[in-house]
Amino acid sequence: MEGTFWSLIPAIVMLILVVLTRKVLISIGTGIVVGALLLSNFHIGATLEEIWTVFYTIFYTNGSIETGNLLLISFLLFLGVLTAFLQASGGARAFGDWMLRRVKTRTGAELMTAVIGLIIFIDDYFNSLAVGQIARPVTDRQNISRAKLAYYIDSSSAPVTVIAPISSWGAYIIGILGGLFVANGITTIQPIEAFIQMIPLNFYAIASIILVFIVAYFHFDIGPMYAHEKRAREEGELLDPNRNQVSGDLGDVFDPHRDGKVFHLIIPIIVLFIVTVIAMIGTGIKETEGSASIIDAFANTNVNLSLIIGGVAAVLTSVIFHMKQRKPRSDMRRIFIEGFKTMIPAINILILAWMIGSIIGELETGSYLAGLVNNSSISADYLPAILFIIAGLMALATGSSWGTFGIMLPIAAEIMANTDMELFLPALAAVLAGAVFGDHCSPISDTTVLSATGAGAHHIDHVLTQLPYAFIAAFTALAGFFVIGFTHSTWIALAATIILLIGIVWVTQVLFVQKKKKAS
């Protein structure tokens, strides 16, 4: 079964169930069982053993504790506690009141969220969680649905991080490029220079960011997003009441403190940001065992450890503020318990996502998809577009952008080095773009889970409402990669991508308005 078409079955079953049932835990769990059955040749005992193995190796493998996974889970718990303190202190309400005096429209609140998403480009995990904490009080007060907030978070986090040289993603990609250049004897360009040249070639990331601002300014609400926004505007329901699974949301658990101030929210988040960034640089320098540039530091940073250090510092700041507030104030023990409880659904999804990722890895799904490209004899002009599609499918199936980078970038480099060096960088950019697209569509992606968590949205609502926008951006990006394959011009291809994006949005909006008029 490994490395064959059958390796796609668990991912296909899972994705079909997600769409049909909208129950993510059941869908991913079924995918895990199906994958384990394939790996064990349908022996029940071996299947159960395989499921147990992929579960406990999340926490313990090769004779040592998996500290990275435990740190990320711990950070989610601390984030829940931080959220609880921000609400109990009255800081979230005070910030909402303060912003409402300045951001007085839904459009302003949505544009503010999009801008913050671009500013926090250091890491996608940090972006997903921090933007939600900052923007949620304002978007809630403007009756903007949580699904839309999750879209803004997800569609700005990975796209901006993948084109930012000073970020965990940028540093990781630059590190891969260095190895690829050595392996293929490329000495005419340095990795950092190549990365910068690839920024305008990442048509999907650019299209996604532009689309975020189009959605925010023109209220381009289509597909399932329209229903969520209509309900939020008319009924004040920010979440689908028919769902029973949401993370990162405290609802009305706490009665906010009457003396809450804006700094009760702003200062802990600033502490979270500054301490996390300092920790990322510090752990990166430590890993290099000496002095290192910022790029080197981000390439070698321990993101999860940095997040937990920043999370602890932010929570301690909130605890100090809480203790200095006048009574009556919420019981601190209850704040911690309720904060932990809000993150349990997200952690459950994350653990299952890791498990299905391990199953898919053992089935060599990624290797099978990569082999489709490696064994093809298609004209080089088509390869950027094909690599974009394959990378998207791989990230969709595996839920991992970084895993897709690691597998597909060397393959793309090898193919283009032996076919058309003029398309070398466009082909690598196509892999990066496709991986982010697949990540946006995948219900088992870490950033999908964390974006829903940061927004306090239902996980599956976020997946389904984001899909139409992801496909619009992907279609325009695919056209761009076809154009560059035949013109070899970055700017012509980028212009074609943007013009097509605007055209699709205009046509879709016209058709959608006509459909609404007929329905009424």
Alpha-carbon distance 409 to 413, whole Å? 6
Using DSSP's 3-state secondary structure scheme, residue 152 falls into helix
| Cα dihedral 369, 375, 376, 379 sign | positive
The pLDDT assigned to 374 comes to 61
Residue numbers of the chain with a pLDDT score lower than 50 = none
Ranges assigned E (strand) in 366-451: none
The pLDDT assigned to 146 comes to 92
CB burial of 204-234 (b: ≥16 within 10 Å; e: otherwise) equals bbbbbbbbbbbbbeeebbbbbbbebbebbbe
Q: Which pair of tokens denotes residue 64? A: 């040592």
**Statement: the pTM of the whole predicted model exceeds 0.85:** no
Residue type, 423: L
Alpha-carbon distance 28 to 15, whole Å? 8
Pairing of strands 60-61, 64-65: antiparallel
Q: Which pair of tokens denotes residue 98? A: 């303060």
The pLDDT assigned to 228 comes to 92
The pLDDT assigned to 250 comes to 57
Q: Which pair of tokens denotes residue 352? A: 């299952």
The pLDDT assigned to 302 comes to 79
